[in-house]
Structure 1
Amino acid sequence: MTKLVINAANKKSKINKEIYGHFSEHLGRCIYEGIYVGEHSAIPNRNGMRTDVVEALKKIKVPVLRWPGGCFADEYHWRDGIGPKEQRKKMINTHWGGVVEDNSFGTHEFFELCEQLGCEAYVNGNLGSGTVQEMSEWVEYITFGGQSPMTEQRAANGHPDPWKLNFFGVGNENWGCGGNMNPDYYANEYRRYQTYVRNYDSASPIFKICCGANVDDYEWTEEVLKTCFHHSEERVHGFMDGLSLHYYVFPEGWDTKGSATEFDEKVWYKTLAKAWRMKELVERHGKIMDRFDPEKKIGMIVDEWGAWYDVEPGTNPGFLYQQNTIRDALVAGITLNIFNKHSDRVKMANLAQMVNVLQSVILTDGADMILTPTYHVFDMYKYHQDAQLLDSYIETEEIGLEDEWRVPNLTESVSQAQDGSLHITITNLSAEDAYDVETALTGYRAETVTGEIVHGEMHEKNTFEEPQRVQVRPFEGARLADGKICFTIPACSVLHLEVKGTAC
């Protein structure tokens, strides 16, 4: 019998809702076809946004959306995407697929999408190929409510009132596609550019995000923080609110990543071991941040994460379109549990990407839409948003087929919602074995327990022919016995239990 211990009296950090954020880049069919079809499309839409996609995303309570990239951000010039659409500049998307970008989805359309979703806006600015003036004027165009050439232009384009800009990233992956910069060079550029990302509305200051490391580049984290804090120890918190981290799970490697749907048990464990590595990355980068920022005022922003496989056969290699299986549900569940457990430092995360790209929550084909296993995990985990992390511990054992790719058999996180209910999320990484779990609660008297689950054979997926094969199903196996919660979690599964009761 596996023991899960929860101390409801020991409330830890708040799990920011933004940890459940998403990312939409001008890449493949994410924006165009996936989210935006235009006002004159036969596909039902509101102001060009697909109604079916928007409604599905609202159900999982998308809290924040990052746009326009990604690598695309550091070649994006915002003025190309405003004004009459027939007059907008057409360009080649050199990063992704070499296709024509007609800029019909720009600033106004992005904020329209955020309004329809009811989510916060996270805009990535162009530091790699743009100017300080360009970035500064974009922020002014978006947020200033007074009189200026930027506000006059915004009004002429149909939006007299400013929008609320919650988060602003000063560049993206500037160690790579954003300019191939060294960390000290980028950090000095960051200091300069962010100076002109002005807070025109003092009541709603913009949360400024600095470009952080790729995977385990701890030197980048160290040097960027050292340069930003140089001569600025007391003032740095005024110009850096977050530091990003990017990490993708490549089952095989960068050149040949492996199939999204055809894999054996060895690759199953290898993939999940790489997902579990997120814990090490968050903790090691976090320790470096602690030296400069012991009060944890600067948030870790994991604004690109997820599984990255070879594209589906017959699709454009630059579109990064891939299927989504039970394996991806486990990658999502493992990663979100890690973020929850480290929510004292991790303040936002953005799954890459929202629709039709990488580990997406939705796939579309013309007017058809399917929800992926990853979508259903986000649907179950939404109860953690803005909840209080509780102290919890689960007994684990290492499993796997090779010493190099061993993983814990179970991962978990537990939170308490504002209505007092407890939410337990557990992943079973085993390809074959179920586990009996007995949960001991302290500081809380459980009165009812209900559950829901995503599980199945490791290769199961939703297709346009079988869109409901993988879905959230009721879990009837949890019971209360002598104040304890007992259940059996099946192999290849992500489980959510809701416990209602009273504090004691």
Structure 2
Amino acid sequence: MKLQSILTAAILLCTSTIFAQNKITAHTDKAETTINRDIYGHFAEHLGRCIYDGFYVGEGSSIENVRGFRVDIIDALREMQIPLLRWPGGCFADTYNWKDGIGPKSERPSIVNVHWGGVTEDNSFGTHEFLDFCELIGADAYINLNVGSGSVREAKEWVEYVTSANKSPMTEWRKQNGREEPWKVKYWGIGNENWGCGGNMTPEYYADLYRNYATYCHGADYKIAGGANVADYNWTEVLMKKLERYKHIVDGLSLHYYVHPGGWGNKGSARDFDEAEYHLTMQKTYYMEELINNHSAIMDKYDPKKQIDMIVDEWGAWYDCEPGTNPGFLYQQNTLRDAILAGIHLNIFNNHADRIKMANIAQMVNVIQSVILTREDKMLLTPTYYIFKMYSVHQDATLVPLDVETEMYTVDGKEIPALNASASVKDGKLNMTVCNLNPNQEEEIEYAFDGDYKNATGMIVTGDKLQSLNDFDQPEEVSLKEFKVGKPKNGKIKLKIPAKSVVLITLD
């Protein structure tokens, strides 16, 4: 063989080998698990400018509003197809007496928000306002009860006030306050972070207290127990063991995990970071997979039939607050890095849809990893917003298992998978969302699937650099755009996923 032919063959062999490392195979014949739409839920706590001066500005505001709620935010959330909203906390939930937020606003007592900034709130936003807002945006409601400083009777009466159609002092009070028919609120959290701000309890004590509360909260159809902080596997072990005989009063167990590259003492900047810090952020993002696997293994031991769901009701990127802002308000910017982080999380949740039935990113407006930021009458949509809008195709779709062969993305000797993906089928369309974590090169993929799909379309979220963001002067620096792909052929399609991007591929 001539030297040129040998070189050509070697190049082709190397190219083929490299290409083969990026291969995704979709098994539509094994699609059977529904991706619960509530995996795409959100969280609104009485924290900083999330509610007040966020989506709720009051009826007297000069900003266009409906009963005090910003019209632009209502429209944006409906377009994003928000399925679920959690409230009132968070840590705030276990200091909140719901009766302070009921009745004429002029007669409601004030409260000091001891957890978040020490500010005084006038309780003008309460149960009626929250449930009114959920109806306006087309989202289901998830209410967290106060276990840390409340009482069983207080919790019982709140559930009755909201859900009961019977004649009682609570339902009569509701009617006097303008709501004749009960609301349909499915999800009820019994406490929040009871290992910390929710009471600094032991798992043994909380498990007993949970049973006490859950027994009396008639009308709460779906009850969620306060679960572990990150890798506290003992908490999950104790709760699952002590609640094993009480599956009739526990439907879900929560898990909380935040990504902060610098640790709690120095979480890092939301906008000023280098590639090494970005890579570390992605490493910590992938840690969610390990947490889910390990907590699921414990849950499976006591609940092999998966009667108790995993509820990841707080997750997201948590950095240092923006310089010059109130440190108790947790206001941070949102870059392309956060869009990729969100895409990875949602792919992971999709792929564990057999156990995970709800997840709530923290938080919806102006706090931590928000989908919306506001400044006076201005509003902008963050890169994370566009990920949720893109991924809405997975809501209530059927999970399609994937085999993913991927190259690795390496920085300072540490390697993580460059590609992360999930897929689902709905209304005859096969949708795959794939993240390319590598900021330096596009990744070629051979995407194989069964089924007679003739056409392919795509959408993409990316930017000029990892630090790209939307600001009030440039609100569309990062957005959702069309992504051109070729036609499928013989059950395959060749894709080139650009560097630092999240892509949606739709086959029909």
1:67 matched to 2:81 = no
1:306 matched to 2:326 = no
Question: How many equivalent pairs are there?
Answer: 487
Deviation at 1:15, TM superposition (A): 0.4
Contact preservation (8 Å) 2:437, 2:499: yes
After superposition, the C-alpha distances for 1:427-466 in whole angstroms (9 at most, x for unaligned) are 0000201111111112x11111000000121000000000
- Could you tell me which residue of structure 2 aligns to residue 413 of structure 1? 422
Contact preservation (8 Å) 1:445, 1:483: yes
Counterpart of 1:475 (choices 477, 483, 487) is 483
Counterpart of 2:143 (choices 118, 123, 126) is 123
CA distance in structure 1 between the partners assigned to 2:313 and 2:491 by the alignment: 40
TM-score normalised according to structure 2 size: 0.95
CA distance in structure 2 between the partners assigned to 1:148 and 1:477 by the alignment: 61
Aligned pairs for 1:388-467 within 5 A:
388-403=398-413, 405-417=414-426, 419-442=427-450, 444-456=451-463, 457-467=465-475
After superposition, the C-alpha distances for 1:181-214 in whole angstroms (9 at most, x for unaligned) are 0000000000000111102xxxxx6110000000
After superposition, the C-alpha distances for 1:287-321 in whole angstroms (9 at most, x for unaligned) are 00001110111110000000000000100000000
Cα distance, 1:478–1:246 mapped onto 2, change above 3 Å = farther
- The amino acid that maps onto 1:98 is G
- Could you tell me which residue of structure 1 aligns to residue 3 of structure 2? none
- Could you tell me which residue of structure 2 aligns to residue 225 of structure 1? 240
- The amino acid that maps onto 1:129 is S
1:369 matched to 2:384 = no
Counterpart of 1:245 (choices 246, 255, 259) is 255
Q: Secondary structure of 1:122's match?
A: strand
CA distance in structure 1 between the partners assigned to 2:232 and 2:119 by the alignment: 32
- Could you tell me which residue of structure 1 aligns to residue 367 of structure 2? 357
Contact preservation (8 Å) 1:451, 1:478: no
CA distance in structure 1 between the partners assigned to 2:364 and 2:95 by the alignment: 21
- Could you tell me which residue of structure 2 aligns to residue 202 of structure 1? none
Contact preservation (8 Å) 1:428, 1:493: yes
CA distance in structure 2 between the partners assigned to 1:347 and 1:154 by the alignment: 31
CA distance in structure 2 between the partners assigned to 1:496 and 1:478 by the alignment: 14
Q: Secondary structure of 2:162's match?
A: helix
Contact preservation (8 Å) 2:456, 2:485: no
Q: Secondary structure of 2:503's match?
A: strand
CA distance in structure 2 between the partners assigned to 1:402 and 1:65 by the alignment: 40
Q: Secondary structure of 2:469's match?
A: coil
Q: Secondary structure of 1:268's match?
A: helix
- Could you tell me which residue of structure 2 aligns to residue 268 of structure 1? 278
State which structure, 1 or 2, has the greater radius of gyration over its C-alpha atoms: 2
Q: Secondary structure of 1:151's match?
A: helix
- Could you tell me which residue of structure 2 aligns to residue 29 of structure 1? 49
1:194 matched to 2:214 = yes
Percent identity between the two aligned chains: 54
Deviation at 1:6, TM superposition (A): 0.9
CA distance in structure 2 between the partners assigned to 1:437 and 1:32 by the alignment: 46
After superposition, the C-alpha distances for 1:97-120 in whole angstroms (9 at most, x for unaligned) are 111111100000000011001111
Deviation at 1:406, TM superposition (A): 2.6
CA distance in structure 1 between the partners assigned to 2:469 and 2:32 by the alignment: 36
Deviation at 1:397, TM superposition (A): 2.5
- Could you tell me which residue of structure 1 aligns to residue 287 of structure 2? 277
Q: Secondary structure of 1:452's match?
A: strand
Q: Secondary structure of 2:399's match?
A: strand
After superposition, the C-alpha distances for 1:358-394 in whole angstroms (9 at most, x for unaligned) are 0000000011000000000000000000000012112
- Could you tell me which residue of structure 2 aligns to residue 497 of structure 1? 505
Which structure 2 segments of 5+ residues have no match? 1-18
Counterpart of 2:330 (choices 320, 324, 335) is 320
CA distance in structure 2 between the partners assigned to 1:274 and 1:410 by the alignment: 15
TM-score normalised according to structure 1 size: 0.95
Aligned-residue CA RMSD in angstroms? 0.9
Q: Secondary structure of 1:481's match?
A: coil
- The range that moved more, 155-164 or 21-30, is 155-164
1:290 matched to 2:300 = yes
Which structure 1 segments of 5+ residues have no match? 200-204
CA distance in structure 2 between the partners assigned to 1:155 and 1:476 by the alignment: 55
Contact preservation (8 Å) 2:454, 2:487: no
Counterpart of 1:49 (choices 26, 51, 69) is 69
Deviation at 1:483, TM superposition (A): 3.4
- The range that moved more, 249-258 or 433-442, is 433-442
Deviation at 1:161, TM superposition (A): 1.2
CA distance in structure 1 between the partners assigned to 2:284 and 2:487 by the alignment: 33
Q: Secondary structure of 1:255's match?
A: coil
Deviation at 1:12, TM superposition (A): 3.3
1:102 matched to 2:122 = yes
Moved over 6 A (4+): none
